[in-house]
């Protein structure tokens, strides 16, 4: 009995294997050339569904009627396919099916009907044009022979046809600048040209949302600062003008829009307005607002942290960045154009001190040292740059930024001058002639050093750090507001682990030479 069961099992397995092999052979058979045996109906107007029968129609990807591209509506089987007579450029002619598209350089197989499809050209008529509609909403057009309509124009703008039948068209109202528009329906006539059915001139009332935005009540705005305004339909706003200076939004949502105040040639009182609807309409936000041009590029309350910091801060500084935001992440190093723009980068050393490092102190000709120095500079979950490609970062390593921490007693007058001047402090080399700015980094105290330790290279909250970038030939000043270093962390913080969350960040006011 056991032998019989065993034999039956073996037989079943063999049958299944044979069946699978046969199936595999069937699926890998070469597809033959397509052929058309017949189609129906033999005639019809634009938009007519035509059923084409034949063989090897599985791989058909394009179809034409009279040389005009037609939509493939369904592939019912190897032997049957349904196409739609085109509505635009419609003309009689043979049906051609192809396994390659018109823009495909490869020569695919094609099949051509022996008979021609005859196009009938009825004239559409409209019994009901819409009288009004809101931009983005659908409106209805009623009549006869509307299924041959190729496009609907409103005030010259094409609306998206959402639904179409012989007696009805639903179309989405496009953006139209004018408040009134003429509705026109286009179709192909018997000569192959384009005809139209039009409604009454300017008989369609266009309803549009209008932005509502708060006015600017400040008497003055600082260049490079962010201007945040609230309201309704603010996503319609395109630009803001500060006098003649045109600016695009930094960000734009329906209820909030943000602009960056531009840098003007000099401090000026200007009219501020926003434009919308392709700049055909405007709203005045202020008739007279002073835009202050700073004597230095002042940025208050900035923060720089370690890579992948749980605080979410960038770890690099570009004091004169074009977008007005001096803090960035190491991701900027993906673009070679940014290699020589970085002034310095934040880094946590093994002694748990947080340091500002010059670019030329970060990379090293020795690949092993380079890799070690880059462990704290990541873009997302990947180190930037890859140690194997460090030579491409020569413009980055060529930047020499040097630091000097002012002494609270010796340099008290200079510190007071800096803080009193803020954005109107004129930064020139003469301001720092008495300083020996030579250190390639400035840092907080190490875990082994006593709290409150400061020097020409060591800073704490309340310190003022001067730096000079020799590549840009620019001076900068950091007025340190807060120092956040967790000295309780383990000292293997720089082990290259992409999940390391970092332990430090520094906040400061930045002054940067124009």
Q: Does the pLDDT value for residue 13 go beyond 90?
A: no
Return the minimum-mean-pLDDT range out of 20-29, 44-53, 197-206, 261-270: 20-29
- What is the mean pLDDT of the segment spanning 477-499? 69
Residue 497 pLDDT level (bands cut at 50, 70, 90): very low
Name the pLDDT band for 495 (thresholds 50, 70, 90): very low
Residue whose C-alpha is closest to residue 151's, from 214, 108, 194: 194
Lowest mean pLDDT among 303-307, 368-372, 459-463: 368-372
pLDDT, average across residues 95-114: 79
Residue 284 has pLDDT above 90, yes or no: yes
CB 249 within 8 A of CB 237: yes
H or E element that contains 11: helix 2-27
pLDDT at 141: 97
pLDDT at 22: 46
Supply angle C-alpha 257, 261, 263, rounded to 5: 155
pLDDT at 386: 56
d(CA 379, CA 328): 11
For residue 496, the model assigns a pLDDT of 42
Q: pLDDT tens across 154-175, in order?
A: 999 999 999 999 999 999 999 9
Which residues in 273-283 are b (16+ Cβ under 10 Å) and which e?
Answer: bbbbbeeeeeb
pLDDT tier at 501, thresholds 50, 70, 90: very low
Percent composition of the chain: helix, strand, coil (DSSP 3-state, to 5)? 15, 40, 45
CB distance 291 to 305 below 8 Å: no
**pTM of the predicted protein model:** 0.62
* pLDDT of 358: 92
Tell me which residue of 490, 486, 440, 484 sits closest to 460, measured CA to CA.
Answer: 484
- Whether the bond between 142 and the residue before it is cis, its omega within 30 degrees of 0, is no
Domains of the chain by start residue, with CATH: 35-119 (2.60.40.10), 125-207 (2.60.40.10), 212-292 (2.60.40.10), 299-512 (no CATH)
Residue 171 backbone phi and psi in degrees, to 5: -130, 140
From CA 311, how far away is CA 301, in angstroms rounded? 15
Q: Sorting pLDDT into bands at 50, 70 and 90, what band is 108?
A: confident
In this prediction, residue 348 carries a pLDDT of 78
pLDDT surpasses 80 at 382:
no
Residue 334: the pLDDT is: 78
Average pLDDT over residues 386-402: 74
Could you report the per-residue pLDDT of 309-343, keeping only the tens digit for each? Answer: 455 678 899 999 988 889 988 888 778 888 889 99
């Amino acid at each position: 009995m056991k032998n019989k069961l065993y034999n039956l099992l073996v037989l079943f397995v063999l049958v299944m294997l044979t069946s699978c092999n046969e199936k595999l052979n069937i699926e890998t058979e070469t597809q033959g050339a397509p052929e058309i045996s017949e189609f129906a109906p033999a005639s019809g107007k634009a938009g007519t569904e035509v059923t084409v029968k034949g063989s090897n129609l599985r791989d058909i990807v394009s179809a034409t009627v009279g040389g005009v591209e037609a939509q493939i509506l369904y592939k019912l089987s190897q032997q049957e396919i349904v196409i739609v007579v085109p509505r635009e450029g419609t003309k009689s002619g043979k049906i051609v099916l192809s396994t390659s598209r018109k823009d495909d350089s490869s020569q695919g197989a094609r099949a051509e009907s022996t008979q021609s499809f005859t196009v009938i050209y009825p004239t559409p008529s409209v019994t009901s044009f819409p009288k009004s509609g809101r931009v983005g909403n659908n409106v209805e057009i009623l009549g006869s022979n509307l299924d041959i309509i190729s496009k609907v124009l409103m005030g010259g703008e094409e609306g998206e046809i959402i639904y179409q039948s012989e007696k009805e068209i639903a179309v989405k109202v496009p953006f139209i600048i004018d408040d009134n528009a003429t509705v026109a329906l286009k179709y192909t006539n018997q000569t192959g040209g384009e005809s139209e059915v039009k409604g009454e001139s300017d008989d369609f009332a266009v309803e549009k949302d209008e932005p509502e935005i708060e006015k600017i009540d400040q008497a003055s705005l600082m260049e490079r600062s962010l201007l945040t305004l609230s309201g309704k339909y603010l996503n319609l706003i395109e630009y803001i003008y500060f006098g003649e200076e045109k600016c695009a939004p930094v960000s734009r949502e329906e209820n909030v829009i943000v602009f960056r105040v531009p840098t003007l040639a000099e401090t000026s009182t200007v009219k501020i307005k926003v434009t919308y609807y392709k700049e055909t309409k405007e709203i005045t936000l202020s008739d007279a607002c002073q835009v202050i041009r700073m004597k230095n590029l002042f940025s208050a309350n900035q923060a720089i942290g370690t890579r992948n910091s749980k605080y979410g801060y960038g770890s690099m500084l570009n004091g004169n960045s074009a977008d007005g935001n001096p803090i960035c992440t190491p991701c900027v190093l993906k673009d070679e154009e940014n290699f020589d723009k970085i002034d310095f980068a934040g880094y946590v050393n093994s002694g748990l001190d947080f340091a500002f490092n010059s670019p030329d102190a970060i990379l090293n000709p020795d690949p092993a040292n380079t890799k070690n120095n880059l462990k704290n500079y990541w873009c997302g979950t990947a180190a930037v740059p890859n140690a194997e490609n460090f030579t491409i970062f020569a413009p980055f390593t060529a930047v020499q930024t040097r630091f000097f921490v002012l002494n609270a007693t010796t340099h008290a007058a200079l510190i007071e001058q800096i803080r009193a001047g803020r954005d109107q402090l004129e930064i020139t080399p003469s301001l720092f002639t008495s300083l020996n700015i030579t250190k390639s980094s400035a840092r907080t105290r190490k875990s082994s050093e006593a709290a409150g330790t400061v020097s020409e290279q060591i800073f704490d909250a309340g310190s003022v750090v001067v730096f000079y970038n020799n590549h840009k030939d620019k001076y900068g000043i950091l007025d340190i507001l807060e120092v956040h270093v967790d000295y309780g962390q383990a000292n293997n913080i720089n082990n290259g682990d992409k999940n390391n969350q970092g332990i430090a960040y520094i906040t400061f006011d930045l002054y940067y030479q124009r």
